[in-house]
């Protein structure tokens, strides 16, 4: 069951396919650059700093190859999401990652953040779903892969 | 990696426990105030048990000394004259030796606590010395078990206050809460001694705390009620003094009934001065403590040879006063000998209370007054028993400076509602008349004197730092959602403080924010504390005033706030609860009176 709020977040997400970066930081930068002109991003540099700082503390990675670089920061007005698909896995820590979901959340939106993260973390543990997601060429296809659940 | 992830996950049992806890919190909202109430109930129960133990040991000692298990006056009536004299003397000697040896042993250990529950509540830090209390209790056992004219309510209150103090220390409670728990112990002691839960709580509120506010009164009432029910389960439910049906025979009787308050209000300062005078007389004697207490016992012994009614606290004597039609001169004689016996026992330094003896003295004067009214105005058809109860109440109000407690106490001792309206007038008049001549009431006087030493040692100054509870619940910013949830299960707090390696406060995770996501195990390894903490969570510095701290609480729903060393470095040093601040501020209402009196004593004292 997908909440309408989660669908809205996924629908407004920016898809980067393919991600050409070779390292985790380059991949994050590539996704961040796709958000630079997003209307809800107030300060892209501050968002970058916050995401990289969060990565230093404890990078959130699912063992089947999904990374969630994210930050709670007031450099965004509303939750923003960039989805990166890596045809060539990018290594985050020790884990080769095929799918990157970069999330920027306003500080006050704890519930929204937990809702989205919970949804993604629950479904991206499912290998067939993940396989379908990395094949998506557009946000619509990406959403359809979830809709089939 | 899988193993690491498994390790970081919360077990399903813990997760369901946490969900259950949140469900309970949502429905029952057990805050710190409610927890204090629960502890008050525990104190009430334990206090009543301690009081019962003390009673039984006293009865055993009494049996050993007199060979009788009857009420103390009856036992003494059946003793030969030499034994009537010797028992109180030996009792006084043993009580004195206990104090003398005990105090010498304790003096070797530097004490940072008090032995007096009133000091502990009003000017102290809520810590009552265990060893010193034990010494006082054993000494009181010897005095009371051998017929000294002193009340056992003192040691009963002492014991239950000690238990409360130990619980406060066990809980690592801050000073205001420890003080409040000790006050609950005192209320439980009074309630179990007199089967009087309302008076027990108001005794402490009015005399010890000096304030009647809901925040502090609630736990006092609960402690008193639990103590009373525990005592009633062992001794039955009847009031201490069964009074016959009382009422007005003519409307004009209102005049002498109210005037008794004025009469006893004028006599109360005299009684207080007699007590003080005998105390200073004994203090001037260059005798060791055991000899002084033996001398006090000898005075009681000599009187007991002719009037065994002087023995004991006077409880049996009050009952006889109301149920035996003694003539004017018998009552007058018993009043005089009891007054001498009580003054000698109290003055000699025996451990115990003067509350019950005071009840007798007030009742006896009241009965005498009633008999005088009957003699001079027989058309009013006055019942001296009713005047005895009025005398008891108004004398209590006039000597303790606590009219509300006196009204409630007499009502609960007799369970006679008919007398209450007149009793209220008599008690208030008694208090006002007495306070016109006397500013140092029975308990306040001793407290001011003892309090001076405490202020001198600077233990009593309470500011924000003293209210801080050290070692609050903390986690690092990379703590997982599973760890956060686990800590919420194990602890009763609503917030977990997040700190860095230098203990700098980064923010707080609120149970309220995460409760909706507790059934989502997928979050347990991907979300950490830094993702969900509130970086702007209000915090207090020890440099803040009490008023600033209260203002901070008004900005949040939290019952507890973190305390940082200062607002620049933000190092977490503890947490502070709203209840503690309110309790402290409520207590401050009464403290200035004591503080002023003590300060003036200190100014007068030679340097």
pLDDT digit string, tens, across residues B463-475 = 777 778 887 889 9
Averaged pLDDT for residues A82-98: 91
Beta strands B474-476; B495-499: pairing state: parallel
Cβ B523–A110 below 8 Å, yes or no? no
Pair (B216, B74) in one structural domain? yes
Q: Is A111 on the interface with B (CB under 8 A)?
A: yes
- At residue B603, the pLDDT reads 36
CA pair distance B167, B36, nearest whole angstrom:
11
Cβ B532–A114 below 8 Å, yes or no? yes
Q: Is A122 on the interface with B (CB under 8 A)?
A: yes
Q: Is B531 on the interface with A (CB under 8 A)?
A: yes
ipTM rounded to 2 decimals: 0.88
Q: Which residue among A57, A107, A125 sits closest to B477, beta carbon to beta carbon? A: A57
User: Which residues in chain B are contacts of A114 at CB distance < 8 A?
Assistant: 514, 516-517, 520, 523, 527, 532
Tokens describing residue B312: 């004991």
Pair (B218, B360) in one structural domain? no
Cβ A107–B1 below 8 Å, yes or no? no
pLDDT above 90: residue B194: no
Cβ B532–A63 below 8 Å, yes or no? no
Cβ B1–A94 below 8 Å, yes or no? yes
Cβ A121–B526 below 8 Å, yes or no? yes
B105-124 pLDDT, tens digit each: 776 555 555 555 565 555 56
* pTM of this prediction exceeds 0.80: no
Pair (B259, B329) in one structural domain? yes
CA pair distance B310, B317, nearest whole angstrom:
8
> Which one is predicted more confidently, A39 or B516?
A39
Pair (B64, B187) in one structural domain? yes
Closest CA to B296 of B95, B82, B78, B60: B95
Q: Quickly tell me which residue has 């990018």 as its tokens.
A: A90
> Which one is predicted more confidently, B260 or B252?
B260
With a pLDDT cut of 70, the percent of chain B lying above it is: 84
User: Which residues in chain A are contacts of B5 at CB distance < 8 A?
Assistant: 63
Tokens describing residue A49: 């700093």
For residue B604, name the pLDDT band (cuts at 50, 70, 90): very low
Q: Let me know if residue B387 belongs to a domain.
A: yes
CA pair distance B562, B504, nearest whole angstrom:
11
The span from the first CA to the last CA of chain B, in angstroms, equals: 73
Give the chain A residue whose CA is nearest to the CA of B531. Answer: A72
pLDDT above 80: residue B535: yes
CB A40 within 8 A of CB A12: no
Domain's final residue, options B214, B241, B268: B241
CB B534 within 8 A of CB B556: no
Closest CA to A58 of B206, B530, B188: B530
List the domain range (segments joined by +) for residue B132.
32-241
CA pair distance B499, B427, nearest whole angstrom:
58
pLDDT above 80: residue B461: no
Average pLDDT, chain A: 87
Averaged pLDDT for residues B491-515: 87
> Which one is predicted more confidently, B562 or B154?
B562
Pair (B77, B210) in one structural domain? yes
Distance from CA of B11 to the nearest CA of A (A): 17
- At residue B459, the pLDDT reads 34
CA pair distance B332, B455, nearest whole angstrom:
43
As a whole number of angstroms, the longest Cα–Cα distance in chain A is 37
A70 phi and psi, to 5 degrees? -155, 170
Domain's final residue, options B190, B211, B241: B241
Distance from CA of B479 to the nearest CA of A (A): 9
Q: What is the CATH number of the domain that holds B482?
A: 3.10.580.10
Angstrom CA distances, B568 to A140, B120, B572, stand at 50, 36, 12
- At residue B452, the pLDDT reads 41
DSSP assignment letter at B110: P
- At residue B36, the pLDDT reads 81
B550-587 pLDDT, tens digit each: 778 877 777 788 999 887 888 999 888 887 777 776 65
Average pLDDT, chain B: 81
- At residue B458, the pLDDT reads 33
User: Which residues in chain A are contacts of B531 at CB distance < 8 A?
Assistant: 54, 70, 72, 113
Cβ A60–B516 below 8 Å, yes or no? no
Q: Is A121 on the interface with B (CB under 8 A)?
A: yes
Write the CB contacts of B43 (distance below 8 Å, at least 6 apart in sequence): B160, B163, B164, B167, B181, B184, B185, B188, B223
Pair (B450, B468) in one structural domain? no
pLDDT above 50: residue A92: yes
Cβ A125–B522 below 8 Å, yes or no? yes
For residue B453, name the pLDDT band (cuts at 50, 70, 90): very low
> Which one is predicted more confidently, B366 or A124?
B366
Q: Which residues of B562-577 are buried (b: 16+ CB within 10 A; e: fewer)?
A: bbbbeeeebebbbbbb
CA pair distance A105, A2, nearest whole angstrom:
19
> Which one is predicted more confidently, B398 or B544?
B398
Q: Is B477 on the interface with A (CB under 8 A)?
A: yes
Q: HEC string of chain A? A: CCCHHHHHHHHCCEEECCCCCCEHHHHHHHHHHHHCCCCCECCHHHHHHHHHHHHHHCCCEECCCEECCEEECCCECCCEEEEEEEEEEEEECCEEEEEEEEEEECCCCHHHHHHHHHHHHHHCCCHHHHHHHCCCCCHHHHHHHHHCC
Q: B185: burial class by Cβ within 10 Å (0-12, 13-18, 19+)?
A: buried
Q: Which residue among B2, B530, B534 sits closest to A54, beta carbon to beta carbon? A: B530
The span from the first CA to the last CA of chain A, in angstroms, equals: 8
CA pair distance B236, B199, nearest whole angstrom:
18
CA pair distance A69, A51, nearest whole angstrom:
6
Pair (B236, B261) in one structural domain? no
Q: Let me know if residue B132 belongs to a domain.
A: yes
Q: What is the CATH number of the domain that holds B283?
A: 1.10.3080.10
A5-51 pLDDT, tens digit each: 777 888 888 999 889 988 999 999 999 999 988 899 999 999 999 99
Q: Is B214 on the interface with A (CB under 8 A)?
A: no
Q: B247: burial class by Cβ within 10 Å (0-12, 13-18, 19+)?
A: exposed
Pair (B145, B186) in one structural domain? yes
Q: Is A107 on the interface with B (CB under 8 A)?
A: yes
pLDDT above 60: residue B441: yes
Cβ B523–A60 below 8 Å, yes or no? no
Averaged pLDDT for residues B409-430: 87
Q: Let me know if residue B355 belongs to a domain.
A: yes
Cβ A118–B523 below 8 Å, yes or no? yes
Averaged pLDDT for residues B488-492: 76
Q: What is the CATH number of the domain that holds A35?
A: 3.40.930.10
Residues 57-76 of A with CB under 8 A from B: 57-58, 60, 62-63, 68, 70, 72
User: Which residues in chain A are contacts of B523 at CB distance < 8 A?
Assistant: 114, 117-118, 121
Angle between the B442-456 and B384-400 helix axes, to the nearest 10 degrees? 20
Q: Is B407 on the interface with A (CB under 8 A)?
A: no
pLDDT above 60: residue B596: no
Pair (B213, B257) in one structural domain? no
User: What is the CB neighbour count within 10 angstroms for residue A20?
Assistant: 13
Q: Which residues of A101-138 are buried (b: 16+ CB within 10 A; e: fewer)?
A: bbbbbbbeebebbbbbbbbbbebbeeeebbebbbebee
SS3 call for B504: strand
CA pair distance B322, B331, nearest whole angstrom:
11
Pair (B187, B142) in one structural domain? yes
Q: Which residue among A62, A70, A110 sits closest to B513, beta carbon to beta carbon? A: A110
List the domain range (segments joined by +) for residue A20.
4-147
Q: Is B532 on the interface with A (CB under 8 A)?
A: yes
For residue B391, name the pLDDT band (cuts at 50, 70, 90): very high
Instruction: Give the total number of structural domains in chain A.
Output: 1
Domain's final residue, options B213, B241, B269: B241
User: What is the CB neighbour count within 10 angstroms for residue A144?
Assistant: 13
Q: Which residue among B1, B523, B534 sits closest to A117, beta carbon to beta carbon? A: B523
User: Which residues in chain B are contacts of A72 at CB distance < 8 A?
Assistant: 531-532
Distance from CA of B578 to the nearest CA of A (A): 25
For residue B21, name the pLDDT band (cuts at 50, 70, 90): confident
Distance from CA of B12 to the nearest CA of A (A): 16
Inter-chain CB pairs, A–B, below 8 Å? 51
Q: B280: burial class by Cβ within 10 Å (0-12, 13-18, 19+)?
A: exposed
DSSP assignment letter at B468: P
Pair (B222, B271) in one structural domain? no
B203-256 pLDDT, tens digit each: 888 777 766 677 778 888 999 999 999 988 887 777 666 666 676 777 788 888
CB B386 within 8 A of CB B370: yes
Angle between the A4-11 and A139-147 helix axes, to the nearest 10 degrees? 150
Pair (B302, B257) in one structural domain? yes
> By mean pLDDT, which of A91-95, B33-37, B189-193 is the weakest?
B33-37
Write the CB contacts of B561 (distance below 8 Å, at least 6 apart in sequence): B538, B539, B540, B549, B552, B553, B575, B576, B578
pLDDT above 60: residue B309: yes
Instruction: Give the total number of structural domains in chain B.
Output: 3
CA pair distance B604, B141, nearest whole angstrom:
37
User: Which residues in chain B are contacts of A94 at CB distance < 8 A?
Assistant: 1
Cβ A57–B514 below 8 Å, yes or no? no
Q: Quickly tell me which residue has 């937990």 as its tokens.
A: A114
């Amino acid at each position: 069951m997908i909440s309408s709020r989660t669908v809205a977040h996924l629908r407004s997400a920016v898809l980067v396919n393919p991600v050409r970066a070779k390292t985790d930081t380059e991949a994050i930068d590539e996704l961040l650059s796709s958000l630079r002109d997003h209307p809800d991003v107030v300060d892209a540099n501050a968002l970058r700093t916050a995401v990289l700082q969060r990565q230093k503390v404890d990078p959130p990675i699912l063992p089947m190859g999904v990374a969630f670089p994210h930050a709670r920061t007031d450099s965004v007005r509303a939750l923003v999401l960039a989805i990166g698909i890596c045809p060539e896995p990018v290594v985050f820590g020790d884990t080769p990652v095929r799918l990157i979901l970069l999330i920027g959340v306003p500080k006050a939106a704890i519930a929204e953040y937990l809702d989205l993260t919970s949804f993604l973390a629950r479904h991206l543990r499912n290998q067939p779903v993940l396989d379908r997601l990395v094949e998506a060429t557009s946000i619509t296809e990406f959403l359809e892969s979830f809709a089939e659940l | 990696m899988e193993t690491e992830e498994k390790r970081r996950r919360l077990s399903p049992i813990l997760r369901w426990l946490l969900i259950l806890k949140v469900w309970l919190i949502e429905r029952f909202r057990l805050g710190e105030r409610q927890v204090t109430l629960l502890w008050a109930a525990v104190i009430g129960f334990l206090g009543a048990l301690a009081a019962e133990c003390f009673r039984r040991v006293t009865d055993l000692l009494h049996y050993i000394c007199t060979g009788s298990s009857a009420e103390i006056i009856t036992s003494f009536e059946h003793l030969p004259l030499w034994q009537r004299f010797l028992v109180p003397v030996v009792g006084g000697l043993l009580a004195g030796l206990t104090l003398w040896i005990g105090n010498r042993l304790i003096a070797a250990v530097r004490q940072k606590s008090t032995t007096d529950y009133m000091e502990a509540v009003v000017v102290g830090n809520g810590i009552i010395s265990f060893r010193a209390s034990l010494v006082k209790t054993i000494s009181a056992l010897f005095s009371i078990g051998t017929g000294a004219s002193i009340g056992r309510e003192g040691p009963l209150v002492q014991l239950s206050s000690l238990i409360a103090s130990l619980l406060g220390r066990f809980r690592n409670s801050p000073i205001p809460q420890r003080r409040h728990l000790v006050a609950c112990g005192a209320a439980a002691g009074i309630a179990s001694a007199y089967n009087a839960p309302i008076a027990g709580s108001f005794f402490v509120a009015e005399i010890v705390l000096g304030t009647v506010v809901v925040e502090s009164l609630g736990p006092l009432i609960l402690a008193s009620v639990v103590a009373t029910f525990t005592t009633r389960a062992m001794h039955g439910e009847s009031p201490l003094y069964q009074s016959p049906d009382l009422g007005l025979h003519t409307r004009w009787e209102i005049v002498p009934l109210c005037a008794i308050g004025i009469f006893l209000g004028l006599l109360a300062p005299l009684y207080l001065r007699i007590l003080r005078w005998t105390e200073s007389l004994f203090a001037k004697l260059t005798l060791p403590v055991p000899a002084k207490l033996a001398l006090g016992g000898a005075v009681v012994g000599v009187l007991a040879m002719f009037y065994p009614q002087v023995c004991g606290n006077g409880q049996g004597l009050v009952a006889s006063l109301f149920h035996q039609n003694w003539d004017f001169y018998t009552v007058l004689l018993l009043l005089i000998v009891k007054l001498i016996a009580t003054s000698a026992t109290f003055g000699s330094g025996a451990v115990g209370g003067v509350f019950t003896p005071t009840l007798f003295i007030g009742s006896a004067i009241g009965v005498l007054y009633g008999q005088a009214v009957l003699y001079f105005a027989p058309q009013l058809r006055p019942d001296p028993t009713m005047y005895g109860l009025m005398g008891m109440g108004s004398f209590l109000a006039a000597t303790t400076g606590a009219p509300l407690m006196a009204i409630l106490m007499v009502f609960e001792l007799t369970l006679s509602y008919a007398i209450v309206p007149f009793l209220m007038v008599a008690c208030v008049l008694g208090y006002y008349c007495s306070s016109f001549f006397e500013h140092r009431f029975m308990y306040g006087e001793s407290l001011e004197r003892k309090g001076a030493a405490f202020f001198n040692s600077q233990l009593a100054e309470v500011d924000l730092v003293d209210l801080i509870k050290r070692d609050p619940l903390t986690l690092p910013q990379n703590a997982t959602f599973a760890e956060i949830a686990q800590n919420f299960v194990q602890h009763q707090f609503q917030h977990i403080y997040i700190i860095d390696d230098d203990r700098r406060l980064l923010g707080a995770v609120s149970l309220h924010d995460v409760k909706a996501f507790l059934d989502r195990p997928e979050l347990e390894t991907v979300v950490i504390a830094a993702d969900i903490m509130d970086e702007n969570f209000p915090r207090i510095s020890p440099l803040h005033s009490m008023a600033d701290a209260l203002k901070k609480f008004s900005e949040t729903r939290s019952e507890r706030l973190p305390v940082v060393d200062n607002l620049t470095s933000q190092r977490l040093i503890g947490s502070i609860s709203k209840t503690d601040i309110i309790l402290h501020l409520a207590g401050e209402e009464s403290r200035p009176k004591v503080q002023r009196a003590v300060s003036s004593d200190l100014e007068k004292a030679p340097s």
